Structure 1
Amino acid sequence: MAGAIIENMSTKKLVIVGVTLMLFQAFSFMVGGLIAPSPTAAIHYLATKCVDTVKTHHKGSKWFMPWGPDQCSKIRDFDEAMVKRIEANNIVFAVHIPLPNREMSAWFQFMLVILQFDIAFKIQNQIDDGALVTLDVGLAYRDDTLSEWTEMAHSIEHRKLSCNFTAPKIIENEGRYYDCDLLPFMEVGSVAHKYYLLNIRLPVNERKKVNIGIGEIKDIRLVGIHQNGGFTKVWFAMKTFLTPSVLIIMIWYWRRITQMTRPPVLLEKVIFALGISMTFINIPVEWFSVGFDWTWMLLGVQLKNPFYSIWASDVGTELAMAFIIVAGICACLYFLFLCFMVFQVFRNISGKQSCLPAMTKARRLHYEVNEGHWHWGGYTVQVNSAFFTGIYGMWNLYVFALMFLYAPSHKRYGGEQSSVDQTGNSGEDLQLTTTITHVDGPTEIYKMTGKEAQE
């Protein structure tokens, strides 16, 4: 057996391959850094306080718009509500996504919304320890400004407040705001519509202790986060280009293995499985989320609740943090393993170089010709887009290089076979000895055969 391609590749060719891979790696960084915009965009929204004058919230058939020709009846603050004797159960916080004169796009891929309460300090209405906010939330959508809103989801959600008041809790500090943590609110897996509307209620029920001890809520602020369309297009282009590239090298790699007279070894199977995994990741299935409307798959809230969050409960938060910690530990261990492997490779190379003077000329030539190098290129991340596209390109180049360099080589020295010969010498020794010219001139066997040929 002639071994893998990397074992039979000259230093010059190996350097050429390494430089080519580094150029592609640099290109993948430049695609994100020079062409694509920032991966995500964050838009801030301040909820409008609408008044449910006809009390239709029990029927759930009316949606409240914060602006536009069909905008709701609004109040500026809760002091105005007290003057007008408007109860808390008749106040609806309305948020239109996106802002006026804009529209959402399927290129945004997802929509993540986080929530923050503006809560004022009051001596007689402080936030209790472990206070829980109950939210009656509804989400609707439409694709033009004239059609009716269609309900997408409705749910009763609970969020635990985590607020600190840094100033002394005295009457002189009444009206100052608490410092409250951001709360996970909503996540939509695809942005299939142009306009979305959120209606949020804070129902109060003193008998059931609903929304009691949560302080004096002044405003609700939301931050909508979505993927930029320009970054999505660059990302899709990379996946579309890399999918056939890795697929072709994977097929070529497996054909090389099947042409061998022996069955594939474990390492070759693992590399092939890695190629299959990378191809599966590369397949640009996201194209379907742009060209088709997948909202019908949600079936309301039966199969998906966009307001559910694992971070909303203590158990869910601890579970999510545990997964993050385990993933971080695994990443560190994998990095240490790669460092150890690189160290082993260079130590092995150094050991071979130190043994060269003591070797026979044939074996010394073998190691000098087939010595390989592992090149790791440094990179500097300037923007988030360059980081995403660069790391994604690096994984594909890593898989591509593994399958190319560790594919079985079909190269033969002196036309000899790789199997053990009748004298017990390996194919490696035959390849070397048959290609080396004797330094002392022709051997006696050569002279005899040559003389017989002349006769």
Structure 2
Amino acid sequence: MPGTILENLSTRKLSILVTCLLICQALCFLIGGLIAPLPANHQNILGMVCKDIPGSQNDTSVWLYTRGKGKCNAVSQEEIEQHDVKMANQIVFVFQMPIPREGHVLDYSRWQQNLIGVLQVDIAYDNDVLVGKIYPFISLASLKISYPAFLFLQLDSHAVVTIDARLAYRNKEDSDYDWKLYATSLERRYLDCQSIHVSNTERLYSCETIPLFELGSLHHDFYLLNIRLPVDTDMKMNLDVGHIHDLQLTAIYQNGGFTKVWLSLKTIFFPIVVAIMIWFWHRVHLLQRSPALIEYMLIYLGLALTFLNMPLEYLTLAFDMPFMLLLSDIRQGVFYATLLSFWLVFAGEHMLIQETGKRSAVKNYWKHLSAVVVGCISLFAFDVCERGVQLRNPFYSIWTSRVGTNLALTFIVLAGISAGVYFLFLCYMIWKVFRNISLKQSSLPSMSAARRIHYEGIIYRFKFLMLATLICAALTVIGFIMGQIAEGHWKWDENIEVQLTSAFLTGVYGMWNIYIFALIILYAPSHKQWPTELNSSNERIASEEIEFNNLPSDSNPSEISSLTSFSRKAAFD
């Protein structure tokens, strides 16, 4: 049997291959660090308060906007403060996106892919309102409560704000007033506020950011958000919230320049991985045996990487595809599941503890793989619960309720812990592999010089490959955990700053492709055949140009690696 390229390739050729792959890996990091901008950017937009048009509360064809012909007139805070009921049900908070920069009108590009909006709420609470919640119908003045005593009166920590949110869009060729409805919804959001200023007349609160909407595609040039805060006594809407002093929208979007770099890498890697898979499978089928388990796993891993590499984002430049975020998560999840499963099988197949000639099968690893599958299915179900619903209602968020927030945080924490436990378990398996190899190495001195050099070279190469696997796994787990935190920090704690740099993202993505590319090449069947006889006078065995051909006794057709047979064969002298 020919064996694998990892065993048979000369040291000089292998060194050239590894050097080229390391150069490609360095280029991936440099492209992200020197060429690509930050993966995401954001704009902070202070909502303009406009007076609502009478009778338009239920009319989704009426839009208030802040720029262009027919724009609304702003209402000052003085007018609101002087009104008896703070102009309840008469004002609209208007956000027109994107905002101009240095006098230039900007528009969104389809290269920016997606848009996320979170709200920052500032509340002004009158003293009489606070006291009225404790002593109904009694004013602060009549109670003669002093100013210091007022400090103990607080906004309800379980306050809920009801938001009538309406999102519209238009394009460059449309008129300033030609806004079209994108989505509308009546949403409830819990408030978590802290007092930032206290005076004799009111207390000001600044609240944590609350998720508002998430668009899976950015197909149009301009977007408009109208927010109404309906006050209704019968339905108990916004009765205990107080006066919303300011609303600030943070619009988060992917940088178009980063998308171009990312798609360029996908465009390069996609055909290369497809070509190397075809070449690998052709070599496997030339052999007079059925493919081994590792060969099957390599093909599955290559298919998952190909699915991830497919540059489907090009389609968003021509078509509106709001499901792209969900599809990207599915592709990422399939790749993670396959990669994590492969590492378990890869390490298990090299334990070198099998004592029978029985072929390995996936069912032998069902305990290990079931944990990976259950974890990935759980994350998929969690993702579908949010982004799947957002295809119908972009204002939906699982973070809007306390139960949903706690559930989401539990999923994220468990996912991070599971990733860490997985990495520790993988380290344990690789340690067992190294220990078994060390035990078997004790038999090397009793072997002939040819066989000893043959196995020593293979063991050295295999150890290097396992260390590369460990580094790849560590960076993958770190990237997964950081990605979960970076994606969720806008929704559950704005004080945690985790910035995934472009260099890290492009570097890890390049590492996946280069690592799997190397595995497919090195574990492909070699075309070199065994020598008819092995003469001790052949001094090429000790040279740098040695081709690690299989020895005549290594002829088990069920194995792809003579390293595995090393654990089963007696010393050959």
Distance 1:262 1:242 in 2: 31
Q: 2:215 maps to which residue?
A: 188
Which of 406, 410, 413 pairs up with 1:318?
Answer: 406
SS of structure 1 residue aligned to 2:225 = strand
Q: 2:386 maps to which residue?
A: none
Q: 1:158 maps to which residue?
A: 188
User: Residues 296, 55 of structure 1: CA spacing in aligned structure 2 closer, same or farther, 3 A cutoff?
Assistant: farther
Q: 1:116 maps to which residue?
A: 120
Distance 1:20 1:310 in 2: 46
The alignment covers a number of residue pairs equal to: 418
Q: 1:80 maps to which residue?
A: 79
Q: After the TM superposition, which of the residue ranges 81-90 and 216-225 deviates more from structure 2?
A: 81-90
CA drift of 1:359 comes to 2.3
Which of 230, 247, 252 pairs up with 2:279?
Answer: 252
| Structure 2 unpaired stretches of 5+ | 131-154, 325-388, 480-498, 534-548, 557-561, 563-573
Q: 1:48 maps to which residue?
A: 48
Computing the radius of gyration from Cα coordinates, the structure with the larger value is 1
**Residue by residue, what CA displacement relative to the aligned partner does 1:307-334 show, whole Å, maximum 9, x if unpaired?**
1111112232233223322321332233
Q: 2:565 maps to which residue?
A: none
Distance 2:196 2:122 in 1: 15
Which of 424, 437, 441 pairs up with 1:336?
Answer: 424
SS of structure 2 residue aligned to 1:177 = strand
Question: Quick one: which amino acid aligns to residue 390 of structure 1?
Answer: G
Q: How does 1:225-264 map to 2 (within 5 A)?
A: 225-264=252-291
Q: How does 1:94-113 map to 2 (within 5 A)?
A: 94-100=94-100, 101-113=105-117
SS of structure 1 residue aligned to 2:128 = coil
Q: 1:446 maps to which residue?
A: none
Q: 1:149 maps to which residue?
A: 179
User: Residues 261, 420 of structure 1: CA spacing in aligned structure 2 closer, same or farther, 3 A cutoff?
Assistant: farther
User: Residues 166, 10 of structure 1: CA spacing in aligned structure 2 closer, same or farther, 3 A cutoff?
Assistant: same
**Residue by residue, what CA displacement relative to the aligned partner does 1:152-174 show, whole Å, maximum 9, x if unpaired?**
1111011001112377xx754x5
**Residue by residue, what CA displacement relative to the aligned partner does 1:279-326 show, whole Å, maximum 9, x if unpaired?**
0010011100012234799xxx99511111111122322332233223
Distance 1:130 1:63 in 2: 32
SS of structure 1 residue aligned to 2:529 = coil
Which of 336, 344, 368 pairs up with 2:456?
Answer: 368
Which of 201, 205, 210 pairs up with 1:178?
Answer: 205
Distance 2:453 2:322 in 1: 66
Q: After the TM superposition, which of the residue ranges 3-12 and 253-262 deviates more from structure 2?
A: 3-12
Q: After the TM superposition, which of the residue ranges 283-292 and 47-56 deviates more from structure 2?
A: 47-56
User: Residues 224, 67 of structure 1: CA spacing in aligned structure 2 closer, same or farther, 3 A cutoff?
Assistant: same
Question: Quick one: which amino acid aligns to residue 407 of structure 1?
Answer: A
Q: 1:286 maps to which residue?
A: 313
Q: 1:128 maps to which residue?
A: 156
Q: Does 2:393 match 1:305? A: yes
Distance 1:51 1:128 in 2: 28
Instruction: Indicate if the aligned counterparts of 1:37 and 1:228 stay in contact, CA closer than 8 A.
Output: yes
Distance 1:296 1:112 in 2: 14
Q: 1:214 maps to which residue?
A: 241
SS of structure 2 residue aligned to 1:230 = helix
Distance 1:13 1:419 in 2: 18
Q: How does 1:55-70 map to 2 (within 5 A)?
A: 55-70=55-70
Instruction: Indicate if the aligned counterparts of 1:8 and 1:369 stay in contact, CA closer than 8 A.
Output: no
Distance 1:383 1:313 in 2: 28
SS of structure 1 residue aligned to 2:452 = helix
State, as a whole percentage, how many aligned pairs show the same letter: 45
Instruction: Indicate if the aligned counterparts of 1:9 and 1:370 stay in contact, CA closer than 8 A.
Output: no
Structure 1 length-normalised TM: 0.84
Which of 504, 507, 524 pairs up with 1:407?
Answer: 524
Question: Quick one: which amino acid aligns to residue 388 of structure 1?
Answer: L
The structure with the largest helix share of the pair is 2
**Residue by residue, what CA displacement relative to the aligned partner does 1:423-442 show, whole Å, maximum 9, x if unpaired?**
xx5449xxx9xxxxxxxxxx
Distance 1:290 1:337 in 2: 43
Distance 1:49 1:178 in 2: 19
CA drift of 1:141 comes to 0.6
Q: How does 1:340-359 map to 2 (within 5 A)?
A: 340-348=428-436, 350-351=438-439, 354-359=442-447
RMSD in angstroms over aligned alpha carbons?
A: 3.0
CA drift of 1:384 comes to 0.5
